[in-house]
Every structure is written in structure tokens, then in C-alpha cells.
């Protein structure tokens, strides 16, 4: 195992993209939450490293055994990533189920790359449904396939985090 910290940094999203990427949080709170969880989106609540307040974001996930793998597509500057590095105790919501967990960054670059490749293979089942992907890409809002390709090209430098549910808590389905 080669331990190394991820280095991928694509900067900060512009104001519109920031709003766009926060929209899953509002949508998840309604009946669409179960649909989004089936498309590999969960809510991740971290504690703000500066404010000490809860911060919730929608993130892509991949189940691996009893744990979940999440990817910081904006790299090491993602606020949620920096928050969980400061405090690894998190809450996740998958569909209507909430659960406490511990976030553990994946240190091995080869494992990060392998997990990203696994996620790439699952991409047809995850993210926006195909008709929505086409519209998002055509309008320039979001290119899901392009994002996955970019992540894979990072060759293990994209931050990847394993979310480990706390024993005794009910696992979301």
C-alpha cells in the first residue's frame, strides 16, 4: 500500500455551479429523496471546521460492503472534504434513513483509483438519468460523463472517502 494524500484541486465552482450543486439538498428533503438515493446520491452532514455548525451537501456515493465510498469531485478544496478532515464524525442520509458514521479518507492512491474505476463502471445506474444528462450537457450546466472521465484521469489524486457507519446504528437501504 502506497500512502499519499490526494492533490487534485480544480479550484472553486462559480456562484451558479455552487447553487446548482446545493440543489440536491433541497430536493432530497422531499419525496424525491428515495429516488435520488437510488441514483447514488446521499446527503452528507459535516461539522464546519470554522463555524462549528452542521453543513449538509449532496454527494455521489458507492456502497462497498457495509460502508459507502464518496468522491470529492472538486478536489481537496471541497468544503465538505476539509470539514471531515477536521472532524470525521458525520451524519449521512440515504433515502429517508439517517445514520451516524465516521469518515476515513482513503490514503492509498492505487485504491482511490480502483474505487473511481468501480464508480465509473456503475455510472449508468447513478447520477442523473440519461435524458436529464443529455439536457444538462447540451445546456452547459453539467457533463456527468465528462466529470467521471476527469475524475478517472486524476490517476488516484482525487480525494476519496470511506464512510463507516457506527456499530449499532441502522443501515440505510
| Residue 171 forms part of a structural domain | no
Q: Is residue 3 part of a domain?
A: no
Tell me, what CATH number does 144's domain have? 2.30.110.10
- In residues, how long is the chain? 173
Residue 173 lies inside a defined structural domain of this protein: no
Residue 172 has pLDDT above 60, yes or no: no
Let me know the angle formed at the C-alpha of 78 by 75 and 81, rounded to the nearest 5 degrees: 95
Is residue 85 a part of any domain in this protein?
yes
Domain that residue 141 falls in: 15-165
pLDDT mean over 87-100:
92
The predicted pLDDT at position 48 comes to 97
Asked if residue 6 is part of any domain, the answer here is no
Q: 112-170 pLDDT, tens per residue?
A: 888 988 887 877 777 666 777 677 778 777 666 667 677 677 666 788 999 999 976 55
Q: Given pLDDT bands bounded at 50, 70 and 90, which one contains residue 72?
A: confident
For 30-62, what is each residue's pLDDT tens digit? 666 666 666 678 899 999 999 999 999 888 898
As for how many domains the chain has, the answer is 1
State mean pLDDT over 21-37.
Answer: 64
* DSSP H helical ranges for the chain: 15-28, 33-38, 79-86, 109-122, 130-138, 144-153
Query: Do the domain assignments include residue 82?
Result: yes
Question: What pLDDT score was predicted for residue 173?
Answer: 44
Whole-angstrom distance, CA of residue 79 vs CA of residue 5: 16
Residue 153 in domain: yes
Residue 132 lies in a domain: yes
Question: What's the confidence (pLDDT) of residue 171?
Answer: 47
Amino acid at each position: 500500500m502506497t500512502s499519499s494524500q490526494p492533490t487534485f484541486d480544480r479550484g472553486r465552482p462559480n456562484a451558479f455551479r455552487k447553487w446548482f450543486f446545493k440543489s440536491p439538498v433541497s430536493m432530497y428533503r422531499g419525496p424525491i429523496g428515495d429516488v435520488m438515493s437510488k441514483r447514488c446520491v446521499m446527503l452528507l452532514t459535516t461539522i464546519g471546521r470554522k463555524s462549528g455548525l452542521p453543513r449538509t451537501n449532496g454527494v455521489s456515493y458507492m456502497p462497498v460492503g457495509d460502508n459507502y465510498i464518496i468522491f470529492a469531485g472538486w478536489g481537496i478544496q471541497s468544503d465538505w472534504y476539509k470539514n471531515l478532515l477536521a472532524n470525521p464524525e458525520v451524519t449521512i442520509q440515504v433515502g429517508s434513513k439517517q445514520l451516524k458514521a465516521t469518515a476515513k479518507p482513503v490514503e492509498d492512491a492505487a485504491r482511490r483509483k480502483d474505487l473511481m474505476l468501480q464508480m465509473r463502471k456503475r455510472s449508468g445506474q447513478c447520477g442523473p438519468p440519461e435524458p436529464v444528462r443529455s439536457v444538462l450537457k447540451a445546456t452547459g450546466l453539467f457533463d456527468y460523463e465528462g466529470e467521471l472521465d476527469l475524475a478517472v484521469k486524476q490517476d488516484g489524486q482525487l480525494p476519496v472517502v470511506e464512510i463507516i457507519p457506527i456499530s449499532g446504528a441502522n443501515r440505510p437501504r
